Amino acid sequence: MTELEFSEKYTIDHAQAYYEKHRTGVRRRLSNYLENRMVARALNVAGPVDTILDLPCGTGRFWETLLEQRPKKLIAGDLSQSMLDVAMQHRPEALLDQVECYEMSAFDTGLTDDSVDLVLCMRLMHHLESRGDRLAILGELARISRRYVVVSLWVYGSYQAWRRTRLEKRRPERKYRNRCILASNVFEREARNSGLNVKARLDLLPGISMWRTYLLELTP
């Protein structure tokens, strides 16, 4: 499977810590709630879909929100088997009966063309400084989706983005960064080049948070 430079950190201990961090402290719990509501808003704009792929699914923190849409099938994929193991460990059996979990890469899912109605891709794109990596993943998600792709990333135009930019300027020059902010027009152009049109732009906290979620629709 294709891996990014930071992929190897996702051990079982790191996966467990990732699961716990979104449930610890008021700020993290609020952020988790707001991100889930942002996903729900994107799905409401998209309308009913039969099949959803959550990739990378991490420790499954969007599963309950996705299942609220009552899809006929929810597929969860992640490059890290440790993430999948922790996700399944902390979910009730009744919920796990509704989710199919597979180890897979967003660069090469192994799924056939047009195999799902909607792909959810949260908290991955902001790790991709390379335009080639972003286009490769967008192309793969467009290939396997019949209708929609939902993607989150960091964009300029907020207080957090301004603060992050100032912080990066003070850091030593690095060959590779595993987090980056994009101009919205740059990402939207890359989406169009991958056969995806912007149907909705959803900001976590407009003017404050740099998190934005895009609902992208396949070009007819």
Euclidean distance between CA atoms 94 and 199, whole angstroms: 33
What pLDDT shows up at residue 14?
A: 87
What pLDDT shows up at residue 4?
A: 56
What pLDDT shows up at residue 71?
A: 96
Token pair 């902390």 in the structure block, residue: 90
66, 46 contact by CB (below 8 A): no
Spans of the chain below 50 pLDDT: 1
pTM (2 d.p.): 0.92
Token pair 């994107």 in the structure block, residue: 42
Q: What is the CATH topology of the domain spanning 7-218?
A: Rossmann fold (3.40.50)
